[in-house]
Amino acid sequence: MVVSAKGVIHHLLMNFTKTAQESTPLVTSDLVHVVPVCMSRDAMAIKPGGLIDYNKKEIVGLEQKIDVTYVKEHPNPGPDELKFFTEAGAVILTTLDNETTLLVGSDYLTKSTSGDAVFRFIKDCVVKIQCCLACLDRTPKSESGILESIPDCKSSCLECSKNILDGIWNPCMECAGNGQPSAYPSLKACHHCLENGIQCVKIVCWCGPVIVRPIIGRP
Ligand SMILES: [Zn+2]
Ligand SMILES: [Zn+2]
Ligand SMILES: [Zn+2]
């Protein structure tokens, strides 16, 4: 495989979200179905080096895109500009009931990858992973297969945010009227699904111990 792009892989994430629906949900109703997952990353050392990808007409294996334009603009690149990948890794999702697991993303690190860069990568993955199935489906697919932009999947509400700040889990009056089960955006149906009257199916990344509440709406 040619080292090319890092990030969440669109079709793998969609497949995982579809399959994970069968696992134990955290919240389920006609409006929203949320399955909790654990996200893990692991990487192994690789031999650093560049490879020519003849299809894309690029040299891959480096942090920056090296194509004809780059070569023309950087006739004498220094070591600070050329950063080879030294580790290849994967982003893996597993449902909390251990029923479903799948690799959904790739990660490549250089020797100088900072803690800040790793944090930004994880944050970007979590935001994309928590996008609902309908919004993932309507996001245009990129050529590389990587989910490049953040899909437009929003479920936040100002009044509910005020509730959260006051330590209240329950949604505001308006959201409760719509049937939303919680004030937390990741447990609510997104605006797109709500407007189109479809069940919002999504996964939520579980971050360590949380106050355990009974599954809302589960028979
Ligand atoms: Zn959505
Ligand atoms: Zn609300
Ligand atoms: Zn949705």
Q: Ligand 1 centre and the CA of 4: distance in Å?
A: 28
Ligand nearest to the CA of 189: 3
Q: Ligand 1 centre and the CA of 66: distance in Å?
A: 35
- In whole angstroms, give the CA distance from residue 7 to residue 145: 9
Q: Fill in the amino acid letter for 94.
A: T
Q: Ligand 2 centre and the CA of 160: distance in Å?
A: 4
pLDDT of residue 208: 55
Q: Ligand 3 centre and the CA of 153: distance in Å?
A: 7
Q: Give the tens place of pLDDT for each residue, 138-182.
A: 999 888 889 988 899 999 999 999 999 999 889 999 999 999 999
Is the Cβ–Cβ distance between 125 and 106 less than 8 Å? no
Q: Biggest alpha carbon distance in the chain?
A: 66
Ligand nearest to the CA of 197: 3
- In whole angstroms, give the CA distance from residue 29 to residue 48: 49
183: left (phi over 0), alpha (psi -120 to 50) or beta: alpha
Q: Ligand 1 centre and the CA of 65: distance in Å?
A: 31
Q: Ligand 2 centre and the CA of 154: distance in Å?
A: 12
Q: Give the tens place of pLDDT for each residue, 52-89.
A: 888 888 888 888 888 899 889 988 887 777 889 999 99
Q: Ligand 2 centre and the CA of 112: distance in Å?
A: 43
Mean pLDDT estimate for the chain: 88
Ligand nearest to the CA of 176: 2
pLDDT of residue 4: 64
Q: What three-state secondary structure class fits 186?
A: helix
User: Over the range 99-132, which residues count as b (16 or more CB within 10 Å of their CB) and which as e?
Assistant: ebbbebbbbbbbeebeeeeeeebeeebbebbbbb
Q: Ligand 2 centre and the CA of 19: distance in Å?
A: 29
Of the pLDDT bands very low, low, confident and very high (cuts 50, 70, 90), residue 219 is: very low
| Helix (H), strand (E) at residue 205 | strand 200-205
- In whole angstroms, give the CA distance from residue 38 to residue 98: 9
